[in-house]
Every structure is written in structure tokens, then in C-alpha cells.
């Protein structure tokens, strides 16, 4: 464009035009350049022929504020073609807040086509809250199925059951802002499964009537406070797991056996310790006997010195001891013969 203005000046100078005419041409060229730089003629013309009129001043203002005016015009055209009453300023405010105008317009169009009540303010709030409003409308029109992981529960008879459920939900547009998500639905369904199986007397009752899980879970109103409405809960699969009751009894028996073994070992150790004490006492008594026997020769020597014991007395005592030993030997030999 600058080259075009320069060429126009050269042409005017070479043609011998007046200076005022040359200045006029320069001003006109500058105005044309500014118009092409700051006025989005293409976007304005597209909106005009689409019967979604946007004033030139609005487009220039959005461009000066560095707003993606092309996206706003695109969303505005879609809304007008779908018969929605939306103002450009509302779209501009939403995009300045960090929202996705194309997403909310598509959601409004889908909701309008499906006769779902969804206002622009609600759609903007859902979008700014971080939820995908378009996907929420799709889920509201076409319910989705949430499959829970395998959930283990134990019946009163100690048998483990492993169940998997499929939950059919529909998005609740009015509770998308502040409502809990899919994780809460899965957690609540898992809690219902564990409660139902745990309250059953035997695991066979659950296997025979798996719909009792669905009925119990649905009675609890698990969709309260969530962004979804539960339509149905179907038990997709249920398998028998381990016998937890028997395993617990085996573990208890093993623990009791170890306790009994420990107590027996304790008693054995105490008996061994008592035996060692008795042996020590026996050795102590033998030492006392030996000590007492050692006093006998001293007493005899003292008796000899004092004259209380003579040589003949000593010989007689020796004869008595020998006779006693002989009799003991004879009596012991006879007992052995009798045996």
C-alpha cells in the first residue's frame, strides 16, 4: 500500500498537477491505508450478507481491544442462523472473561433443537466453571453409560463377590455448576454394592437375585448433589471370589497355634531353669556334706589328744564300720539275686 501511494505521488508530480491536488491525493491514500488496516471489511461484509449485522464501530473497537472479533462474528452468525436472540456484546464479554463463545453457541443451538431449557447466562456460567457445556447438552440428549471398576464385597457367610455395574446417566443442566462428576457416581455405586452384598446372609442370595443390588442402590438417591440423573443401574458381571471367612479362621487357628507353642516353650524354659536350680542346690548340699565330713578327722584327733578316745575304741569303731559295710554288701547281693 505504501508503494501504491508513492507511485501515485510520482504520477501526480510527473503530470504537473497542482500541489494542493497532490496533497489531497496523499491524504486520500493515507485514509485508504488506515481504512484497510483498521477496518475489517471482510468480516463486516460476511456478517452483513449473513443477516447478522455487526456495526463497523463494534468491529473496530474489538480489534483495538485485541479481541478475536472473527470468532465472535462466527459465533454470532451461527446463533442468528439458528434463530437465537444473542447480542454481540454478550459474546464479547464472555470471550474477554476467558470463555469459549463457539462452544456455548453450539450448546445453545443443540439445546434449542432438542427443546432443552438452557439460557445464555447458564451456558456462560457452565463454561466459565470449567465444564464442557456442549458435551453436557449431548449427554442430556443422549444418555451415557458409566462402567464401574470391579468392586469386591464380602457377604455375611465370608464369601467374597466381585461385581461390575453399568450406570446409565443423563446430564442435569441445572446442576452442572457445583454438581459432582462421574467419580462421585462411581464411588456411590460402589458403596451401594458393598452395602448390599455385606448385608446379605449368604452370597447365594446375591447370585440368585443380582437385581437386589440395583434396587438398593437406586433407593439411596445416589444422584443427589451430582451433575447427573441416574436412569438405571445394571449389574454387568458378578463372580465368586475367595472364601474370606475360612481364610480368617485359618489365620486365627495359625495364630492360636503359635501362641500355644510360645506358651509351651515358655513352660519348658521355666522347667529347665528350675531343674538347673535344683542341681545347683544339690551341689550346694553335697558341698556342705563334704565340709561336714572333713570335720570328723579333726574331731577324732581332738578326742585322741584330750583322752576321750582310746586306740581300742578306735579299732572297735573301725570293726563296726567294716562289719556294717560287709552286711550291706551281702544284703545288696541277695537283692540282686532275687531280681
Q: Are residues 135 and 149 in the same domain?
A: no
Q: Are residues 150 and 64 in the same domain?
A: no
**pLDDT score, position 92:** 79
Distance between CA atoms of residues 194 and 217, nearest Å: 10
Q: Global pTM? A: 0.52
Range of the domain at 219: 144-246
**pLDDT score, position 338:** 47
Distance between CA atoms of residues 206 and 211, nearest Å: 8
**pLDDT score, position 10:** 57
Chain position carrying cell 556294717: 324
Task: Indicate the burial class of 69 (C-beta count within 10 angstroms; 0-12, 13-18, 19 or more).
Answer: buried
Q: Are residues 239 and 320 in the same domain?
A: no
For the chain, 339 residues long, the average pLDDT of each consecutive 10-residue run is 53 52 63 59 69 73 74 80 79 80 83 80 81 80 84 83 85 75 82 83 78 76 76 80 76 87 90 90 87 81 78 79 85 55
Where is the domain boundary, 246, 273, 290?
A: 246
In a domain, 291, yes or no: no
**pLDDT score, position 175:** 75
Q: Are residues 44 and 131 in the same domain?
A: yes
Instruction: Give backbone dihedrals phi and psi of 154, rounded to 5 degrees, phi first.
Output: -120, 125
Q: Are residues 160 and 117 in the same domain?
A: no
Q: What is the number of structural domains in the chain?
A: 3
Amino acid at each position: 500500500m505504501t508503494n501504491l501511494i508513492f507511485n501515485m505521488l510520482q504520477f501526480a508530480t510527473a503530470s504537473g498537477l497542482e500541489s494542493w491536488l497532490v496533497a489531497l491525493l496523499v491524504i486520500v491514500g493515507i485514509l485508504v491505508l488506515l481504512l484497510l488496516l483498521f477496518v475489517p471489511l471482510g468480516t463486516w461484509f460476511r456478517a452483513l450478507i449473513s443477516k447478522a449485522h455487526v456495526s463497523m464501530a463494534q468491529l473496530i473497537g474489538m480489534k483495538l481491544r485485541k479481541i478475536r472479533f472473527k470468532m465472535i462474528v462466527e459465533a454470532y452468525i451461527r446463533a442468528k442462523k439458528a434463530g437465537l436472540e444473542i447480542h454481540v456484546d454478550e459474546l464479547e464479554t464472555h470471550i474477554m472473561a476467558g470463555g469459549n463463545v463457539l462452544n456455548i453457541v453450539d450448546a445453545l443451538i443443540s439445546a434449542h433443537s432438542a427443546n432443552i431449557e438452557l439460557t445464555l447466562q447458564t451456558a456462560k456460567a457452565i463454561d466459565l466453571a470449567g465444564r464442557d457445556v456442549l458435551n453436557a447438552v449431548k449427554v442430556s440428549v443422549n444418555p451415557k453409560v458409566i462402567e464401574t471398576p470391579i468392586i469386591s464385597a464380602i457377604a455375611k457367610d465370608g464369601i467374597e463377590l466381585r461385581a461390575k455395574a453399568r450406570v446409565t446417566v443423563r446430564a442435569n443442566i441445572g446442576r452442572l455448576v457445583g454438581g459432582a462428576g462421574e467419580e462421585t457416581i462411581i464411588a456411590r455405586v460402589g458403596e451401594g454394592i458393598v452395602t448390599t452384598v455385606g448385608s446379605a446372609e449368604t452370597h447365594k442370595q446375591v447370585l440368585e437375585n443380582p437385581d437386589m443390588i440395583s434396587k438398593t442402590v437406586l433407593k439411596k438417591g445416589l444422584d443427589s448433589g451430582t451433575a447427573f440423573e441416574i436412569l438405571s443401574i445394571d449389574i454387568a458381571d458378578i463372580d465368586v471370589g475367595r472364601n474370606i471367612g475360612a481364610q480368617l479362621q485359618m489365620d486365627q487357628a495359625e495364630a492360636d497355634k503359635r501362641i500355644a507353642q510360645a506358651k509351651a516353650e515358655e513352660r519348658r524354659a521355666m522347667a529347665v531353669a528350675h531343674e538347673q536350680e535344683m542341681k545347683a542346690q544339690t551341689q550346694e548340699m553335697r558341698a556342705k556334706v563334704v565340709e561336714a565330713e572333713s570335720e570328723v578327722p579333726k574331731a577324732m584327733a581332738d578326742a585322741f589328744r584330750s583322752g576321750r578316745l582310746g586306740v581300742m575304741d578306735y579299732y572297735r569303731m573301725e570293726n563296726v564300720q567294716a562289719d556294717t559295710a560287709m552286711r550291706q554288701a551281702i544284703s545288696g547281693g541277695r537283692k540282686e539275686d532275687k531280681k
